[in-house]
Amino acid sequence: MTGILGIGAFGSSRRNWSVARFLYYGLLALQHRGQEAVYIITADGDLHEAGGEGPVDYTLVKGVDDIPGYAGIGIVSPAEGISIHGDVALAGDGAPFLTGGWTSLTSKLSSLLNSSSPIDASVKILDEVPGAYSFIALTSDGTLMIARDPSGLRPLEVGSLGFDMGAVASESSALEVMGMKHVANVEPGEVVVMDGYSVEKAKVTRAGERSRLCSFEYVYMARHDSIMDWLPVYRVRVRIGEVLAEEAPAEADAVIGVPETAVPIAAGYSKASGIPLEIGFASTGRRTRTAIKGSGIDRLIGVQLKLNPVEAAVEDRDVVLVDDSVVRGTTLRNVVWALKRNGARRVHVRIGSPPLRAPCPYNSSIPEPDELIGSSLSEDQIAEVVGADSLRFLSLDGLIRSIGVPMDSLCLRCWGVRG
Amino acid sequence: MGGEGMKILVVGGGSREHAIAEAIARSSSTPRIFSVSENRNPGIRRIVEESGGEYALAPISDPGKVAELASRWGVEIAVIGPEEPGFHGVADSLRDEDVAVVGAVRKLAVMEMSKAEMRRMQWRNGVPGRLLFKTYHSFEEAMDDLRSQPDAPTWTQNVALKPARQAGGKGVKVIEDGQAYLHREKAEFKVKHAEWIDRYISGYGDLEERILVEEKVWGPEYTLQCFSDGYTISCGPLVQDNKNAFEHCMGPETGGMGSYAGPGPLLPFITREEYDRSVEIVKKMVDAVQRESGERYVGFVAGQMMLTELEGPTLIEMYSRLGDPEGVNLLALLETDFVDLLEAMIDGKLSSVELKFSEEATVVKALAPKGYPDDRRAAGGHPIMADEGAMTLDGCKLYWGSVHEEDGLYTTGSRAAEILAFGSNLPEASEIAERCTGAIRLLDGWGLYHRSDIGSKHMLERMDELADRARALYKYREERGTLGKRKDWIPGLGLVDPAQELERRLRG
Ligand SMILES: Nc1ncnc2c1ncn2[C@@H]1O[C@H](COP(=O)(O)OP(=O)(O)OP(=O)(O)O)[C@@H](O)[C@H]1O
């Protein structure tokens, strides 16, 4: 997974703005989408680059104030950085199906720009490169080329700051953290070029392809304060909890959610079941995404720091433990054990999504099936493995109902639905 | 051909003036129409020719020039379109030549020309819908305030930073400083912008005050346009203009990229009560400026309003003219004979005229060459062409704006044309206008842009949402008696009412 971001100031006063800090804070708000590396590039006639491996506030904190530029792009990513070719820098999310990946896409764009306008060049990329991806490219004169391919699988949202700046980011929450108003989405197949004096748009379609939303974004990836493609993530998650309470009721005294993603799901479960919501955990240190961490030991460190149980919330109680998804069961096993150690009598695990069954071809950091506990074991078997008294997943139908859009406008591939 | 009726002069050469000339030409009294403008507007020229009038190119803000033309032609009524001639006393000099003028004389136009004076007048006279403000004579004087820390009283942080003078829809920046971690960037920007305003306004050379800092408010905006005869004020349907250059309310401030009105006198998200309150505000402002200047207000007047959580209908700015493009909506909907109306304004008999407006929805979309508003040189000089036949077939009307006719038709750097469409509802009118934008283009391949979202269903939904939020809050304030009340707590000073502070300052 990846988070990308681009920002540019408008008009004759644009040189009065410097965007580096906006990028820094915007990327901080996208940190949950990629923790291994962070890069930014700004433009003020020249391109200026900063970043490296590590989290945003560690890697970028020094020197960001000294980076000039009235336009810029940034990326947080587990693997890839910003590709640069000639005068073009590009931050991409997703998977362009092209030998050489983002590097070749960037050089292709760069050579197209020799003979075509930014809008035509970007359209050509979407026309010619299949896959599922979004990108934000920047040239040294501050022109931003923004594109979301017709599959619509990689999100991009648009923000505006008064009469002065425009921005795009993988999630709306990053725009808000930059002090911007979230005004729209970049539509599937849409290309937007912002050059400081104009905003131009074009639309690309691919024969036979209709756009779909990535359901995993709503379940797990996005922050719950984000609104993506006009759907508030928070509302979807609360709804998931409500549906889960209908589909998989439990006798219990308290509902607790695994922070942070599953907390709104737990709130929905509590609301629909009437079982009180308790705050079951306190976290230590920076927020980490345990499902997408690199090695096994890193994941465990992440879980244990993130999830210190609150004894008084669970002691002598039957507890419904709500989590968003199960990848390997590591998190769960640890948490269930810790809850019981802190006095919980029964632990009923409820998962706010169906079992993960397949990796994501578009780079969502979901592992291969033999690393997915839900792809081979039954609910009862998993309950036994993680030490819970019961375990239930949300049904596929329940997930679709919770998101509230027709099944054929969703990508459900990681839950084992082809198409 | 040619009218036998009165000789009427229209001052100004933009889309609004094209619409004014057209409204005059529609009159049953078959007036002869004369025009003076700085660009030769083909739409106005055609109307002038068909009515048997004359067209002259001259600096329209030069009172002597305009008065001389008027008396040479022997015009009986002059209608002033834009604001600058009013600021420069063109109405005054026409009046001196015994021409009946519909347009504010200089002392009245001050209400628009000086945004600072407008606010002072509002506070002095207790007119509701007020905002906190502060003025500065130079950017050095403003610097400390603009840099003040994010924990200063809130209104000094979230501000509109404006030229103290009306500067042709240019130079306003709305800056929210709601993130302490971005304070440095915003403070630096404000200071640099204030420096620019200082230089820019000194270029006009007619105001001591240069910089205005005003409390930032939020909510849906709308314009209330009215006719005044000095005794009565009659207002038309509400219109919403859209200032950002680009779609989704993004991009630099423009003179207005498109406007919509109707169906009926209200906008879908403004109530009758809010309309009435807005009329009250505009009336009181006109009363105040008449009282303070001793002049009779004969002309157009408008309040650019915002529905705020602070006070409901709130005055952002006064116009001593019709809005552009809002005036195009208003005149398109007007069913009363426009010349009768002009005469009633002049004669002080507005109360006896029944103002009638069509109930239809209208959408106006402005078309501007790429480069507008910030690089007008790049936006100017492009050959432009419109297929007016196709537009008429599609049900649209074209109003030429910033173009000049001389061996062909060329853009002059601002909004080149406005397209008007009618519909039974706004999205329908918006779609019709959208279709018609295809019938106009620049012949050299340079980009001509417009906003496709003006009056769209999506835009209306957003406005609805915004209005509901603001309304729920101001209604609650009303219930609790805290409408328009602000409180600050300043360490060391304690509880202060910034409005009282301001009033004390104004009393000196
Ligand atoms: N106090 C305020 N709070 C919030 N927004 C504001 C405020 N003042 C101005 N604005 C915004 O800035 C825009 C332009 O402001 P204003 O009307 O004062 O400037 P102008 O340049 O004179 O515009 P016009 O072209 O209408 O004459 C307004 O339409 C509004 O969107």
Question: What's the CATH code, domain B221-449?
Answer: 3.30.470.20
Would you mind telling me the total number of residues written for chain A in this entry?
419
Rounded CA gap, A227 and B452, in Å? Answer: 23
Q: What is the pLDDT of residues A309-363, one digit of tens each?
A: 999 999 999 999 999 988 888 889 989 999 999 999 999 999 999 998 888 887 6
Report residue A9 as tokens: 């100031």
Q: Give the pLDDT confidence score for residue A361 in this predicted structure.
A: 80
Mean pLDDT of B169-189: 87
For residue A232, what are the CA distances in angstroms to A4, A171, A173? 19, 11, 11
Strand partners, A191: A147, A202
Q: What is the pLDDT of residues A38-47, one digit of tens each?
A: 999 999 999 9
pLDDT at B154 exceeding the cut of 70: no
For residue A55, what are the CA distances in angstroms to A33, A38, A288, B4, B366? 11, 7, 10, 80, 46
Contacts of A352 (CB under 8 A, 6+ apart): A219, A237, A240, A241, A244, A262, A265, A322, A323, A324, A325, A394
Q: What is the pLDDT of residues A214-263, one digit of tens each?
A: 999 999 999 999 999 999 999 999 999 999 999 999 999 999 999 889 99
Residues of chain B with C-beta less than 8 angstroms from the C-beta of A16: 188-189, 192-193
B189/A contact by beta carbon, under 8 A? yes
pTM for the structure as a whole: 0.93
Cβ atoms of B272 and B266 within 8 Å: the answer is yes
Q: Which CATH architecture has domain A216-415?
A: 3-Layer(aba) Sandwich (3.40)
The count of other CB atoms within 10 Å of the CB of residue B491 is: 6
Q: Is B316 in the pocket of ligand 1 (CB under 6 A)?
A: yes
ipTM associated with this complex: 0.91
Query: CB distance B250–A183 less than 8 Å?
Result: yes
DSSP E strands, B353-416:
361-369, 380-386, 396-400, 403-405, 409-412
Label residue B180 by pLDDT band (50, 70, 90). confident
Query: CB distance A16–B189 less than 8 Å?
Result: yes
| Residue type at B194 in one-letter notation | A
Helix axes B457-480, B426-436, angle to 10 degrees: 140
SS3 content of chain B, % helix, strand, coil (to 5): 40, 25, 35
Label residue B152 by pLDDT band (50, 70, 90). low
B192/A contact by beta carbon, under 8 A? yes
Rounded CA gap, B174 and A179, in Å? Answer: 12
Q: Is B45 in the pocket of ligand 1 (CB under 6 A)?
A: no
Mutate to test the pocket of ligand 1, among B156, B222, B317 (most ligand atoms within 8 A of CB): B317
What homologous superfamily is domain A3-210 in, according to CATH?
A: Aminohydrolase, N-terminal nucleophile (Ntn) domain (3.60.20.10)
Of chain B, the end-to-end C-alpha distance in Å amounts to: 62
Residues of chain A with C-beta less than 8 angstroms from the C-beta of B374: 10-13, 197
Rounded CA gap, B87 and B110, in Å? Answer: 7
Q: Give the pLDDT confidence score for residue B170 in this predicted structure.
A: 79
Place of tokens 């939303």: A213
pLDDT at A147 exceeding the cut of 50: yes
Higher-confidence residue of B208 and B237: namely: B237
- Domain locations along chain A: 3-210, 216-415
Q: Give the pLDDT confidence score for residue A307 in this predicted structure.
A: 80
B167/A contact by beta carbon, under 8 A? no
Query: Which of B156, B365, B88 has the alpha carbon at shortest distance from B245?
Result: B365
Among B158, B185, B218, B250, most A C-beta atoms within 10 A, so best to mutate, is: B250
- CATH fold of B132-216 reads Dna Ligase; domain 1 (3.30.1490)
The mean-pLDDT minimum among A250-264, B122-136, B175-189, B219-233 falls in B175-189
Q: Is B166 in the pocket of ligand 1 (CB under 6 A)?
A: yes
- Domain locations along chain B: 7-103, 132-216, 221-449
Helix (H) or strand (E) holding B43: helix B42-51
Label residue B1 by pLDDT band (50, 70, 90). very low
Contacts of A345 (CB under 8 A, 6+ apart): A316, A317, A318, A319
For residue A42, what are the CA distances in angstroms to A23, A46, A309, B129, B264? 9, 8, 43, 42, 49
For residue B26, what are the CA distances in angstroms to A181, A415, B10, B328? 44, 67, 14, 14
Label residue A364 by pLDDT band (50, 70, 90). low
Q: In 3-state terms, what secondary structure has residue B424?
A: coil
Rounded CA gap, B468 and A336, in Å? Answer: 45
Contacts of B126 (CB under 8 A, 6+ apart): none
Contacts of B197 (CB under 8 A, 6+ apart): B139, B161, B162, B163, B171, B210, B211
Rounded CA gap, B290 and B157, in Å? Answer: 35
Mean pLDDT of A289-308: 65
**DSSP code per residue over A151-173:** T--S--EEEEETTTEEEEESSHH
Residues of chain B with C-beta less than 8 angstroms from the C-beta of A201: 247
Cβ atoms of A387 and A321 within 8 Å: the answer is no
B488/A contact by beta carbon, under 8 A? no
| Residue type at B292 in one-letter notation | E
Contacts of B291 (CB under 8 A, 6+ apart): none
Cβ atoms of A51 and A73 within 8 Å: the answer is no
pLDDT at B444 exceeding the cut of 70: yes
Q: What is the pLDDT of residues B327-349, one digit of tens each?
A: 999 999 999 999 999 999 999 99
Q: Class of B7-103 per CATH?
A: alpha beta
Cβ atoms of B307 and B468 within 8 Å: the answer is no
A208/B contact by beta carbon, under 8 A? no
Query: CB distance B244–A17 less than 8 Å?
Result: no
Q: Report CA(B297)–ligand 1 centroid distance (Å).
A: 24
